[in-house]
Structure 1
Amino acid sequence: MKKLQKIKLIDKIGRELQERMKFNEIDGYFESYGIPTDHQPSYNSKYVYVKEVLPKVKDEIVLEIASELGIEHEAISSIPVIVKESEATFWKPGHFKLFVSHLASFKTTIGILKTELEKYGVSSFVAHEDIEPTKQWQDEIEKDYFQWMPFVQY
Structure 2
Amino acid sequence: MAGNKQPVSVLVLLYTAQGRVLLIERADKPGFWQSVTGSKEGQEALLATAWRELGEETGFAAAQGVLHDWAQSSVYEIYPHWRHRYPEGVTHNTEHVFAFELSEESTPRLNAREHTAYVWLDWQEAAQRVFSPSNAVAIRELGRRLSPLS
The bucket for the TM-score relative to the shorter chain is: under 0.3
Question: Of the two, which has the highest radius of gyration?
Answer: 1
Which structure is higher in RCO with an 8 Å CA cutoff and minimum separation 6? 2
Higher helix proportion (structure 1 or 2): 1
TM-score for both structures, normalised by structure 1: 0.26
TM-score for both structures, normalised by structure 2: 0.27
